[in-house]
A and B are shown apart, each in its own frame.
Chain A
Amino acid sequence: KAGVTQTPRYLIKTRGQQVTLSCSPISGHRSVSWYQQTPGQGLQFLFEYFSETQRNKGNFPGRFSGRQFSNSRSEMNVSTLELGDSALYLCASSSGQAPGYTFGSGTRLTVV
């Protein structure tokens, strides 16, 4: 059974640009959550999607957005990148029935 797949693994962007990250959940998982992880802040919740609907949202500015497609694949977009957006972005999927979340390997974004 394939795990959670995140692409790309690494990204370098310039301040002011925008970026789109992709996440393919485990087959059959309908819930996808996105997290930002930085050394000083730990795991920060961005948003959760379930069946193409945003179910929960964290305290991030509107520059951070996401969506989920009918096949449960999800994308997150960050516009007008800032240096402080440099982080590891993690996607996690859940069936909603089995315990816990399964994380992807993450996308490491560096903004220069």
Chain B
Amino acid sequence: QKEVEQNSGPLSVPEGAIASLNCTYSDRGSQSFFWYRQYSGKSPELIMSIYSNGDKEDGRFTAQLNKASQYVSLLIRDSQPSDSATYLCAVMDSNYQLIWGAGTKLIIKP
């Protein structure tokens, strides 16, 4: 059973600090990794994708991938209250099927 694991949280971070969200996956053949943000009552929206080891930055967001350790993380710098949401990690496995984590609820405290 291929799995993607995330800490369900809630993760509480002060405004202006760095929020760090982590995700581990079981299928070593996975090649594509995604972070989605889902506000309460809304549908998920793609915020980052990463395919190779290392860091990928987009504005305040940085995705980090370590295939040897089978983890992917998302850093949010200068966290804002509007970043409060559930963050879903999704991994495309070796069969090109998207496997989802259960999500981490992030709360940014003003």
What residues make up the interface of A, taking CB atoms closer than 8 Å to B?
A: 33, 42-43, 45, 48, 56, 90, 99-106
Contacts and interface: CB of A to CB of B under 8 A. Distances in A.
Contact of B44 (A43, A45, A48): A43
Interface string B54-96: 0000000000000000000000000000000000101000010
A28 to B, nearest CB: 17
Given A42-B103, A43-B88, A45-B100, A103 B49 contact: no
A43 B46 contact: no
B100 A102 contact: no
Contacts of A102: 46
Interface residues of B, number: 18
Contacts of B43: 90, 103-106
A103 B45 contact: yes
A102 B101 CA distance: 17
23 contacts: A42-B100, A42-B101, A42-B102, A42-B103, A43-B44, A43-B88, A45-B98, A45-B100, A48-B97, A56-B95, A90-B43, A90-B44, A99-B34, A99-B46, A99-B49, A100-B34, A100-B36, A100-B49, A100-B90, A101-B46, A103-B44, A103-B45, A105-B43
